[in-house]
């Protein structure tokens, strides 16, 4: 880099268009390369990642000049926050760039699992014409339980209302005032578990939410319930999920995220009633442009001495 220029490492692939503020700035030099393929990590002032790069204390030790880590997305569970804080490195994310894409994908997964679309698609492409095997359910009149009512949960609720679904929302941080504004009913976790026909989770993965839908809580759900996870693998415990799929309690599950990614649990995927996508809820042209642009601006401002807004 030239004198006074900042070095920025973009470790995971990101929207070029979104990165333009960085690529065009003469104040920065941008290297687009995976951290594992960079010989000298010590020169970088900023690190941009999606979810593929795991940021550990060990990695940070190789980056003594690092001032900021930006996550082009929402979840920061691939970044060791304590390790970053200890080293005085600021961590920022792009909290709303992929909200709509994730809410839409969740909706698509809900419809797909309730109407057996992936199964019917596979069947017709295999040369069959089987109209009996794929009877599904309407969304209208069903109760959708939403666990976690942040940006994504809220957008999902609005869409579900247009489909004439009833909504039950559990979120310990949700105020009555906000619930009323969006027009949803707040409920306890048990009320959601006991009354929902479909349950979808929209929380981060934390100590509190890991295994939230596990053996004990899934037992409280209605027989024939559908479960959806487009948030983070592990919020629904996979062993428990398989148990209740095996005994027929769960009618179907739609999963975009897994405890281990790429998913290794072939047993889970082999259930006819499980439909799955490879963590693509945020993979739209719009969302990727949004998140890359959001973190680019943020990093640029931060390096210019302004405070970070999404840390
Ligand atoms: C996110 O946390 O933003 C999503 O999981 C999408 C991603 O991993 O990029």
Pair type for strands 143-147 and 198-201: parallel
Ligand 1 pocket member 73 (CB < 6 A): yes
Give the DSSP per-residue string, 199-234. Answer: EEE-----TTTTTSBSHHHHHTSPTTEEEEE-S-TT
Q: Which among 227, 209, 239 is positioned nearest to 275, based on CA atoms?
A: 227
Q: Is the pLDDT of residue 309 over 90?
A: no
Q: Do domains 6-97+285-303 and 99-276 have the same CATH topology?
A: yes
* Range in 8-12, 128-132, 201-205, 303-307 the model is least confident about: 303-307
Q: Using 50, 70 and 90 to split pLDDT, how confident is the model at 307?
A: confident
Work out which ligand 1 atom sits closest to the CA atom of 50: 9
Ligand 1 pocket member 102 (CB < 6 A): no
Ligand 1 pocket member 69 (CB < 6 A): no
Contact 286, 100 (CB under 8 A): yes
Structure tokens at 205: 């993965």
Its CATH architecture, for the domain 99-276, is 3-Layer(aba) Sandwich (3.40)
* Distance (Å) from CA 73 to ligand 1 centroid: 5
User: Where are the chain's structural domains?
Assistant: 6-97+285-303, 99-276
Q: Is the pLDDT of residue 17 over 70?
A: yes
ipTM value: 0.92
Q: What is the DSSP letter of 306?
A: P
Residue 23 C-alpha from the chain's centroid: 27
Contact 186, 170 (CB under 8 A): yes
Active-site residue list? 232, 261, 279
pLDDT tens, 90-106? 999 999 999 999 999 99
Work out which ligand 1 atom sits closest to the CA atom of 98: 3
Q: Which of 18, 51, 97 to mutate to test the pocket of ligand 1 (most atoms within 8 A of CB)?
A: 51
Ligand 1 pocket member 75 (CB < 6 A): yes
Residue with tokens 């020169």, as numbered in its chain: 43
Q: What is the DSSP letter of 134?
A: T
Ligand 1 pocket member 15 (CB < 6 A): no
Q: Which among 293, 292, 288, 287 is positioned nearest to 100, based on CA atoms?
A: 287
Contacts for 129 with CB less than 8 Å, ≥ 6 apart: none
Q: Whose CA is nearest to atom 3 of ligand 1?
A: 73
As beta bridge partners, residue 250 has 225
Work out which ligand 1 atom sits closest to the CA atom of 291: 3
pLDDT tens, 31-80? 999 999 999 999 999 999 999 999 999 999 999 999 999 999 999 999 99
More confident position, 310 or 129: 129
Taking CA atoms, 229 is separated from 175, 186, 201, 203, 257, in Å, by: 24, 20, 6, 10, 7
Q: Which of 279, 289, 290, 292 to mutate to test the pocket of ligand 1 (most atoms within 8 A of CB)?
A: 279
Ligand 1 pocket member 165 (CB < 6 A): no
Fold of 6-97+285-303: Rossmann fold (3.40.50)
Pair type for strands 225-229 and 166-170: unpaired
- How far is 138 from 129, CA to CA, in rounded Å? 22
């Amino acid at each position: 880099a030239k004198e006074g220029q900042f070095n920025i490492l973009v470790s995971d692939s990101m929207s070029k268009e979104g990165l333009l503020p960085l690529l065009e700035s003469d104040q920065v030099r941008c290297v687009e390369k995976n951290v594992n393929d960079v010989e000298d990590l010590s020169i970088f002032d900023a690190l941009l990642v999606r979810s593929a790069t795991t940021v550990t204390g060990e990695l940070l030790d190789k980056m003594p000049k690092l001032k900021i880590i930006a996550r082009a997305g929402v979840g920061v569970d691939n970044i060791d926050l304590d390790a970053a804080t200890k080293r005085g490195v600021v961590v920022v994310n792009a909290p709303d760039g992929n909200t709509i894409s994730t809410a839409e994908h969740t909706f698509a997964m809900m419809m797909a699992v309730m109407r057996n679309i992936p199964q019917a698609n596979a069947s017709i492409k295999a040369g069959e014409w089987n109209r009996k095997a794929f009877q599904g359910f309407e969304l209208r009149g069903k109760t959708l339980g939403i666990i976690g009512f942040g940006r994504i949960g809220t957008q999902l609720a609005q869409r579900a209302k247009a489909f004439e679904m009833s909504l039950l929302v559990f979120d310990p941080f949700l105020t009555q005032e906000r619930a009323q504004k969006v027009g949803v009913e707040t409920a306890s976790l048990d009320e959601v578990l006991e009354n929902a026909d479909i349950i979808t989770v929209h929380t981060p993965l934390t100590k509190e939410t890991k295994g939230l839908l596990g053996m004990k809580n899934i037992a409280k759900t209605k027989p024939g319930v559908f479960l959806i996870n487009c948030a983070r693998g592990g919020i629904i415990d996979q062993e428990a999920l398989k148990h209740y799929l095996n005994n027929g309690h769960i009618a179907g599950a739609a999963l975009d995220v897994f405890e281990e990614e790429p998913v290794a649990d072939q047993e889970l995927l082999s259930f006819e009633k499980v439909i799955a996508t490879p963590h693509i809820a945020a993979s739209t042209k719009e969302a990727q442009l949004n998140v890359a642009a959001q973190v680019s601006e943020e990093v640029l401002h931060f390096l210019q001495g302004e405070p970070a807004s999404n840390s």
